[in-house]
């Protein structure tokens, strides 16, 4: 008995169906893109703020470990182009981009060759690590400082307290206006807070 095979017709998309699909995709993208932009804006702000916090904390700890004053020096006036550095050099030169530059923001770290720069008159530039940081990785993030009119904050080598007995603030603002602040207390204690509560997860108290 002969069998007759019937092929089912393959139906394509109609123009109306394609238009409806594109319209739905447009709506989804219109909702999703601003949300993603806001997420990236907040993450960039948090990243910059936590980096500043960690480096100021490092300056404090280095002052104790090295039994010598250590400083965090800033060039930040509320613009999106800023630099800062940590160093044993008082008012280190933030324009220097090489570790051998005069008064560059550097930290001596033994490179393992058996000699250490600065000890016993040794000159080993391989031990000089450039500790200068810029806004290049944090597009749109502005920075302002309040150290009582100074551009840097220094830590005493005995207890890690702030030199001069006064702390200060570093305020960072995102492109969308969110704010975080690094507060440095007179005793050297650090914390991050959100002045206006625009970044969830950070306290607004005494900010």
CATH number at residue 169: 3.55.40.10
Task: Tell me how far apart the alpha carbons of residues 106 and 125 are, in angstroms, rounded to a whole number.
Answer: 10
How buried is residue 71: exposed, middle or buried, by Cβ count under 10 Å (0-12/13-18/19+)?
buried
- Average pLDDT value for residue range 55-62: 97
Residue 51 located in a structural domain:
yes
Q: Where in the sequence is the domain holding 118, given as residue range(s)?
A: 15-193
Helix%, strand%, coil% for the chain, nearest 5? 30, 25, 45
pLDDT in tens, 110-149: 888 888 777 767 677 888 999 999 999 999 999 999 999 9
Residue 17: its H or E element:
helix 15-65
Task: List 135's β-bridge partners, or say none.
Answer: none
What is the per-residue pLDDT for 1? Answer: 47
Confidence at 26, pLDDT banded by 50, 70, 90: low
Residue 47: its H or E element:
helix 15-65
Residue 153 located in a structural domain:
yes
Residue 5 located in a structural domain:
no
- Average pLDDT value for residue range 96-123: 86
Residue 130 located in a structural domain:
yes
Nearest to 178, CA basis, from 163, 198, 153: 198
Return the minimum-mean-pLDDT range out of 26-35, 81-90, 129-138, 160-169.
Answer: 26-35
What is the number of domains present in the chain? 1
């Amino acid at each position: 008995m002969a069998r007759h095979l019937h092929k089912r017709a393959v139906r394509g998309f109609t123009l109306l169906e394609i238009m409806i699909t594109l319209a739905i995709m447009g709506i989804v993208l219109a909702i999703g893109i601003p949300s993603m932009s806001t997420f990236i804006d907040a993450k960039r702000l948090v990243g910059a703020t936590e980096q500043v916090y960690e480096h100021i904390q490092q300056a404090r700890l280095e002052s104790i470990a090295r039994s010598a004053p250590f400083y965090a020096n800033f060039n930040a006036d509320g613009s999106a182009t800023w630099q800062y550095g940590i160093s044993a050099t008082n008012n280190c030169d933030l324009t220097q981009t090489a570790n051998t530059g005069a008064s560059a923001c550097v930290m001596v770290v033994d490179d393992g060759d058996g000699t250490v720069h600065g000890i016993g008159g040794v000159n080993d530039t391989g031990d000089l690590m450039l500790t200068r940081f810029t806004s290049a990785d944090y597009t749109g993030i502005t920075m302002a400082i309040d150290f009582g009119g100074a551009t840097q904050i220094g830590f005493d080598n005995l207890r890690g307290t702030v030199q001069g007995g006064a702390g200060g603030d570093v305020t960072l603002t995102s492109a969308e206006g969110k704010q975080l602040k690094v507060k440095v207390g007179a005793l050297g204690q650090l914390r991050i807070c959100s002045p206006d509560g625009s970044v969830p997860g950070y306290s607004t108290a005494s900010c």
